[in-house]
Structure 1
């Protein structure tokens, strides 16, 4: 499956579709980003039920700023609108596959309940 190019205009639409979305924050000048790109692309072929999206931090600095991207590549996983993971660093293929498998296996009702409880605790 081809990756989706994210911009400020389509970011919310792509991430809000539901399901699992992996975002690769990258830039063309970044060596580790270029090394990670084939790993990300191969994972997109292996997991056709996941949306794989790339956001060029140079072309879309406002979106990168919203997510406080300070180091690239950064991989972000969103499932059903819930941010599950966001860490800088290029992942090896096996680690990326494991991350995807874990995200798919999560009980999202439990994740939403935990997020709601954490938010309620912060407001006290």
Structure 2
């Protein structure tokens, strides 16, 4: 499945910056403080967090972004975040991002799953597994 490796930084190119990565219930993270604030909010509300580490120049990131926005609208019980790896380089490095997109699934701030690459079926499968693990058994 598609993913992008690190690209040389081009400070002059911020055209159509992040436009397609936010929308629906996706929160665009632009600072480490906003990341910590959203994680605290999710923990307080008992929500799972899906964090999409992506880049505006990455084709596979752009390809999967509409699905990510759609999933955020379909599952309001989950918090969806997007981090631009070029904007938050040091922060992304601290998460050991080697390719974009990389999706982290977090509960109480702890990683419970991870997906590297724009693999739509796998992303949907992981979403279903997480939703199943969260919903109480019905009799």
The TM tier, using the shorter chain, reads: 0.7 to 0.9
Contact kept, 8 Å, 2:25 with 2:76, in 1: the verdict is: no
Q: How many residues align?
A: 106
- Picking from 93, 106, 115, the partner of 2:133 is 106
Alignment of 1:1-124 (within 5 A): 1-6=24-29, 7-16=31-40, 17-18=42-43, 19-92=47-120, 94-106=121-133
Higher helix proportion: 1
Deviation at 1:2, TM superposition (A): 2.1
Compute the TM-score of the two structures, normalised by the length of structure 1. Answer: 0.77
SS at match of 1:24: strand
Distance 2:108 2:127 in 1: 14
Unaligned stretches of 5+ residues in structure 2: 1-23, 135-139
Divergent runs of 4+, >4 A = none
